[in-house]
Amino acid sequence: MNKNNNIYVKTGFGIAAFCVFMGAFASHILKEMIEPADIVTFDTGTKYMFYHAMAISFISLSNRKFHQNILDLTMFLFLSGIIFFTGSLYLLATRTIWGDESYTWLGALTPIGGVLFVSAWVILISKGFVKAGDEKSTGLIKKKKHKNRKSRNENLISDSNVAEEIIDN
């Protein structure tokens, strides 16, 4: 597995673990501190973060099916989308806790995150897949040095001829 893909898989798994933590935090602690409508907002952020954590993990594990440069771009868009979309929802949902209701402008960041998510999916649909016979573009297949069988056989024949000459003499 490519070093970047290994990092992407671990990042996806780490984000998924963080989602579980945030869901538990919202269910057990946050629900006593904020309004039910804000809990719904918070949960929406957690769901979308989890969906994209799984997408990051799955796509990274399926790296041989995708062009490496498209995979890198998609991972960047997914991670940026998580920051903008989920981050803004978390901050909006908890703004009463941190004491300032004036941060409603954060709601403008949420659609930016959504556009980043959609862009990543559209890129994967339109340009992501490796065509048959184009495996080198994934960046994962390395050239292997193969000796030509004919030349290998010729070497064996010449070696056996040398051996016969030595035996005959």
> Distance (Å, rounded) from C-alpha 21 to C-alpha 114?
23
pLDDT digits (tens, 9 = 90+) for 133-145: 555 544 544 444 4
What is the rounded CA–CA span in Å between residue 169 and residue 156?
A: 20
**Among 76-85, 94-103, 139-148, which is the least confidently predicted range?**
139-148
The four Cα atoms 141, 54, 107, 98 give a dihedral, to 10 degrees, of -120
Residue recorded with tokens 């004036």: 102
- Per-residue pLDDT tens for 110-157? 999 999 999 999 998 888 776 655 555 445 444 444 555 555 555 555
Each residue of 7-66: pLDDT tens digit?
A: 999 999 999 999 999 999 999 999 999 999 999 999 999 999 999 999 999 988 887 777
> In the prediction, which pLDDT does 110 show?
94
Rounded Cα–Cα distance for residues 158 and 127 (Å): 51
The tokens for 142 are: 């390395």
| Separation CA 141–CA 137 (nearest Å) | 8
- Reading the block at residue 47, the tokens are 């769901």
What angle do the packed helices 3-28 and 36-61 form, to 10 degrees?
160
Residue 129's φ and ψ, nearest 5 degrees, are: -80, 145
Which secondary structure element, helix H or strand E, spans residue 115, and what is its range? helix 109-123
DSSP structure class, residue 142: P
